[in-house]
Amino acid sequence: MLKVDRRRILQLNQAEQADGPVIYWMSREQRLRDNWGLLHARELAGENRQLIVVFCLVPSFLGATLRHYDFMLKGLQQLEQDLRNLGYRFVLLSGAADQVLPDFVSGVECGVVVTDFDPLRIKQQWQEAVARKINVPLIEVDGHNIVPARFVSEKREFSARTIRPKIHRLLPEFLEEFPDFSAAQGETGEYPPVNWEQVLRDVVVDATVAPVDLVPGEAQARSALDVFVAEKLGRYAYERNDPNSEAVSHLSAYYHFGHLAPQRAALSVAARPSGEGVDAYLEELIVRRELAENFCLYTSNYDSLDSAPEWALKTLAEHAEDRRTYLYSYTEFEQALTHSALWNAAQLQMVKTGYMHGYMRMYWAKKILEWSDSPEEALRIIITLNDRYQLDGRDPNGYVGALWSVAGLHDRGWKKRSVFGSVRYMNERGCRRKFDVDAYIKKWADRGFAGN
């Protein structure tokens, strides 16, 4: 059995395991290697039981566009081929899991279903519904967090300061090498391959947000990690806040779609001689990312201002009537029509490439707060734009980043200012102290909004 079984693995219903195939209901961890859920399913299948990997494709998902579907489906296409090469069966079901999976489970007389951990509301709802509707166990495995989210803490943590020692205490045990994923033992039978071109044609999503150049899939994610570790990690501690410097990893979309296990990245980074690049990256990848997972797991309204800390809601309310020097609508923000060339450049970087540099995400969101009617409106605009254009959108990191920017989540109070109250403020002067703002503007500002 997996070394960390009792902690990583959670049974979501009371059903008894039966004979018959093992289903791995893949959701968030869309990869074959370094995947604790798939490894657990493989282990349950053993020598004699069939293992079937099932993915349930919904026709629309939380505002995802062609940019997201294209990336995900091309990644799944590679995955199907990789699974097939090892003798496993991949099935693509069309529809929400709670609607289509129970019938499939009973149709193949499956004995147990294993699935991924995901703290987002809709994923939790699907899991609960599936757990109720099937008469075999549904087992959740956390393949996204190095220290499993349900294990590191049983409550919403206050800040990085409170979760950090809990994570660090458990890391030596959990940051372990993955076992190999071995080929199928039993007979898998003939099965038809998925017609991916047809699937891509059939999805009804907004095609005005075009696919981007980033190549999806496990192999590509792994080589991007290798390049980062070899060429950029040494500069990460000092240059990660400079959007012109290219010292960050650009791995967030791979983590988001599960093409790369954060644990694989942590193992690669931790294997380098220790230094600030190593420490700084592990802090972001493990502590900050897992803090976001913790927040969404224990805060069902993680995308609402109501979930912000009380001190921040109070100070924002005190400044609700402050005059806004600039006020923009959603469309003006979307089309990068503000007075600020720097803000517009950040917006265009995101619209064109599906990625905005991390430092700019903070500045970008803070300015939406400053130039919107209310914090509620600002949060709505940030989340809508973020989820529409960032390839890594719809992620716990995004909801937490939005609330951090607008309402002091996981932060403390700062010097009082108009509109922000004591929520942390950022301005262009601060950016100019950190990096060459004009070079950044030059790079992105002449790429107009049209024709993304």
In the complex, which residues of this chain contact ligand FAD (CB under 6 A)? 240, 248-252, 255-256, 284-285, 288-289, 292, 358, 361-362, 365, 382, 386, 390, 392-393, 395, 397-398, 401-402, 404-405
Residue 403 CA to residue 306 CA, distance in Å, equals 10
Enter the tokens of residue 408: 């002091």
Name the phi and psi angles at 427, rounded to 5: -140, 175
Contact predicate 152/166, CB 8 Å: yes
Cα 265 to Cα 252: distance, rounded to the nearest angstrom: 11
Instruction: With CA atoms as reference, report the closest residue to 193 among 347, 83, 317, 56.
Output: 83
Which is closer to ligand FAD, CB of 176 or CB of 239? 239
Query: Does residue 191 contact residue 89 with C-beta atoms inside 8 Å?
Result: yes
Among residues 401 and 421, whose Cβ is nearest to ligand FAD?
Answer: 401
Considering the complex, state which of residue 88 and residue 281 has its C-beta at the smaller distance from ligand FAD. 281
Nearer Cβ to ligand FAD (70/290): 290
Q: Hey, CA dihedral for 417, 418, 421, 423, is it positive or negative?
A: negative
Q: Shortest gap between Cβ of 123 and ligand FAD (angstroms)? A: 16
Residue 241's alpha-carbon distances to 110, 262, 367, 435, in angstroms, are 50, 21, 18, 8
Q: How far is the CB of 416 from ligand FAD (least distance, A)?
A: 22
Q: What are phi and psi of 162, to 5 degrees?
A: -85, -30
CB closer to ligand FAD out of 55 and 236: 236
- Residue 40 or 394 having the CB closest to ligand FAD: 394
The SS3 assignment for 353 reads: helix
Distance between CA atoms of residues 403 and 410, nearest Å = 9
Q: Which is nearer to ligand FAD, 150 or 367 (CB)?
A: 367
348/333 Cα distance (integer angstroms): 10
Closest distance of CB 343 from ligand FAD, Å: 13
User: Cβ of 56: how many Cβ atoms within 10 Å?
Assistant: 21
Closer Cβ to ligand FAD, 24 or 302, answer by number: 302
Rounded Cα–Cα distance for residues 185 and 88 (Å): 9
Using the minimum distance from each CB to ligand FAD, give the nearer residue, 348 or 402: 402
At closest approach, how far in Å is the CB of 83 from ligand FAD? 26
Token representation of residue 115: 């699935």
Least distance CB 396 / ligand FAD (angstroms): 8
3-class DSSP state for residue 24?
Answer: strand
Min. distance of Cβ 382 from ligand FAD in angstroms? Answer: 6
As measured in angstroms, the least distance from the Cβ of 188 to ligand FAD is: 35
Alpha-carbon distance of 218 to 270, in angstroms, equals 20
| Residue corresponding to tokens 């200012």 | 417
φ/ψ (deg, to 5) at 290: -75, -25
CB of 375 to ligand FAD, least distance (A): 14
- Taking the complex as a whole, the smallest distance from the CB of residue 291 to ligand FAD amounts, in Å, to 7
